[in-house]
Structure 1
């Protein structure tokens, strides 16, 4: 069973106190980001992470399965005059990017939304450059008072197993207030 965030609740993604428990700057600081990087924000929603990421890298692909979210982000990018973000609609089982095309793949609060998690993790590996890193943040599998139903969340161990089975290795693993954070790299084939 999948649980997609309702686009009608998009303003909830921008609540002011979100930065107190999910600060893009602190999360992006866990991996070295270089100005020449090409990055992808998978499950970008309204751009809570896409926009800060766009200030740090050459290009960002904002990818989501919900056109309404991409439309909201597109309006925001135009208002802010941000030109280095390209939005792409995903089918949910394929990442619309070329093989080995991104240095950094970020996915925040989206892993639990993928219908075929194994396939999407393999897709992440496909689009990531050999020396690239994936940064995954998702809700811990416990009641946090908000977020998706606990029944659709993945434990950190389950998430690690999923990525390791797809040929990733864990570089960093952290517990945050309501989430876990993983930094992963591709193991040599």
Structure 2
């Protein structure tokens, strides 16, 4: 496993007030325009930074992560908040325990810079997404800053586009919510 993956010991920072201020989930989800009757997957969901607000906006959420500790914290939060439309699943990095073309939309936030085999990861995203489905990628801006991963672990928009376009996606739009974070929406080709 890559040495630059999020250490579960640091998982409490994932839902910090500071993070919510610089990447406000409500604003991000409003910009994405989800659709209340849709089924979404939060790939690399961590402790639920986006999963919980996503569950309040859509019909069903599949929350996947490779770390059991993260999923345990998320499950506990879902129970406390009495949220019942989230299915929490442990996955491998490039194998998701979901059937082909089940998902209307995928959100993967601050995950791709940690992925060891990005082309395989994008292929698996494509497999679970319906034709015409939406993939929203949120990543650290490729700039040197105090928070987040080192510059050499950050991804350029061009790199993300190359991986997505080579695995059956087309680019739809992009966002920048702060100097720290970028978002790109791709659509699965028909």
TM over 0.5: yes
**Is this contact kept in 2: 1:13–1:46, CA < 8 A?**
yes
The CA deviation at 1:6 is: 1.0
Secondary structure at the aligned position of 2:21 is classed as helix
| TM-score, length-scaled by structure 2 | 0.94
Structure 1 unaligned runs (5+)? none
**Partner Cα distance (1:153, 1:19) in 2:** 20
| TM-score, length-scaled by structure 1 | 0.95
Structure 2 unaligned runs (5+)? none
Q: How does 1:1-189 map to 2 (within 5 A)?
A: 1-176=2-177, 177-188=179-190
The CA deviation at 1:32 is: 2.7
Aligned length: 188
**Is this contact kept in 2: 1:2–1:114, CA < 8 A?**
no
**Partner Cα distance (1:152, 1:67) in 2:** 24
The CA deviation at 1:104 is: 0.9
Secondary structure at the aligned position of 2:92 is classed as coil
Secondary structure at the aligned position of 2:31 is classed as coil
**Partner Cα distance (2:3, 2:59) in 1:** 33
**C-alpha RMSD of the superposition:** 1.2
